[in-house]
């Protein structure tokens, strides 16, 4: 008698592609993707779009912050060890309203100039920038009678009409013009010398 060859059992894989496709859709729909917000900075305009206008800014309206490659601070020409002191210095400078001839003419004219070297650490850059923005947030919050934390909550939810009204009041928006803009100039880092 001849031996009959047995067929090897096979798994039907015709629906495997369907199952894989359904699993892929399931994971795409249920997975949340992390959304890192990063720094909220307004980027400079495209160099081709810049109209060459020679604008003279009075020296008294510039608050200068320099950070070298060793993370040493120079604020208004004087060395500064404690980064947190910048906050109060900026508030005093911006809110001067022309009283002190060494400080700004008005909040609208005040500009905080921030310049670093290429070797400046990211941590120092962010620490200084945080203090500069915190100074402005303090001033805006004070204008509407809230705390700095409440101001940041207001500015994060401008869909609420009351928050929008407070936000505009804090920044001094009148007739489409800001009377109290956050004028921060971040200069291109300079090269470090060896």
Backbone angles phi, psi at 152, to 5 degrees: -65, -35
- CATH class label, 58-143+181-186: alpha beta
Tens of pLDDT along 25-82? 998 888 887 776 666 666 666 767 766 666 787 888 889 999 998 999 999 989 999 9
Q: Are 158 and 136 in contact (CB under 8 A)?
A: no
The answer to whether the predicted template modeling score (pTM) of the entire model surpasses 0.95 is: no
Q: How far apart are CA 155 and CA 169, in angstroms?
A: 12
Nearest Cα neighbor of 112 from 139, 87, 147 is 87
Q: By three-state DSSP, how is residue 49 classified?
A: helix
Q: Are 143 and 179 in contact (CB under 8 A)?
A: no
Domain limits, the chain? 58-143+181-186
How do 184-186 and 111-116 pair as beta strands?
A: parallel
């Amino acid at each position: 008698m001849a031996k009959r060859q047995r067929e090897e059992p096979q798994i039907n894989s015709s629906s495997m592609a369907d199952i894989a496709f359904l699993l892929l859709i399931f994971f795409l729909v249920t997975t949340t993707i992390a959304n890192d917000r990063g720094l909220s900075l307004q980027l400079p305009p495209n160099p081709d779009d810049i109209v060459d206008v020679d604008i003279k800014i009075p020296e008294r309206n510039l608050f200068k912050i320099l950070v070298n490659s060793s993370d040493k601070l120079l604020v208004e020409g004087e060395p500064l060890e404690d980064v947190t002191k910048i906050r109060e210095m900026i508030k005093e400078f911006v809110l001067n309203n022309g009283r002190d001839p060494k400080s700004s003419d008005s909040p609208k004219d005040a500009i905080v100039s921030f310049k670093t070297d290429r070797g400046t650490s990211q941590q120092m850059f962010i620490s200084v920038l945080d203090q500069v923005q915190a100074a402005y947030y303090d001033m805006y919050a004070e204008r509407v009678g809230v705390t700095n934390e409440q101001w940041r909550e207001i500015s994060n939810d401008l869909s609420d009409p009351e928050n929008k009204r407070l936000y505009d009041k804090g920044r001094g928006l009148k007739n489409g013009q800001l009377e109290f803009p956050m004028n921060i100039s971040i200069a291109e880092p300079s090269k470090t010398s060896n």
